Amino acid sequence: MSDTHDVSVLNGLITTTLDSIKDFEDAAEDAKSTRFATIFADFARDRAQVVASLQARVRALGDKPEERSSLLGAAHRSFMNLKQALTGKNDKAVVEEVERGEDHIKAKFGEALRDPDLQPATLAVIREASASVKAGHDQASALKHSLV
């Protein structure tokens, strides 16, 4: 039998992580430097692994995992595309936006880790995924600060 609360939390994290993947793919395309493009493409691949582990847990709970990014994420990407078209794309702006997105996903995972109603097995999956998210966040933050 499915645990509705666990599935809801997991699917929320999946959606946020799918948004993150799309943001990294867009950042890789927008980056002028091949170094940054490679870093962002690597981040997207790492996040795909996070999604796979979260989706596997939803399936283990007997439910259907989320498979699409959010409308809010799509709206944000459209806004960023417009902003970049008006202001001109540069690596510093792309890195700053990536880091801002990393703050968002890190906060979402932190919130889930503090949820007292999650089953231990679900919490373990989220904890493992959160370690990957935190590493990505820290890398993006270091990248941003190296450009200042």
pLDDT tens profile 28-58 = 888 888 988 999 999 999 999 999 999 999 9
Predicted pLDDT of residue 137: 85
What does CATH list as the number for 4-146? 1.20.1260.10
Predicted pLDDT of residue 11: 96
Instruction: List the one residue out of 40, 12, 45 whose CA is nearest residue 97.
Output: 40
pTM (predicted TM-score): 0.84
- Give the span between the Cα atoms of 124 and 34, in whole angstroms: 36
Q: What is the pLDDT of residues 57-104, one digit of tens each?
A: 999 999 999 988 765 555 454 445 545 544 556 777 777 778 888 888
- Each domain of the chain, given as residue ranges in start order, spans 4-146
Q: Is the pLDDT confidence value at 122 over 80?
A: yes
Predicted pLDDT of residue 73: 52
Q: Are 21 and 105 in contact (CB under 8 A)?
A: no
Predicted pLDDT of residue 29: 85
- Give the span between the Cα atoms of 96 and 146, in whole angstroms: 11
Predicted pLDDT of residue 1: 43
> Long-range CB contacts (< 8 A, 24+ apart) of 35-39?
36/91, 36/94, 36/95, 36/143, 39/139, 39/143
Q: Three-state secondary structure along 65-99?
A: CCCCCCHHHHHHHHHHHHHHHHHCCCHHHHHHHHH
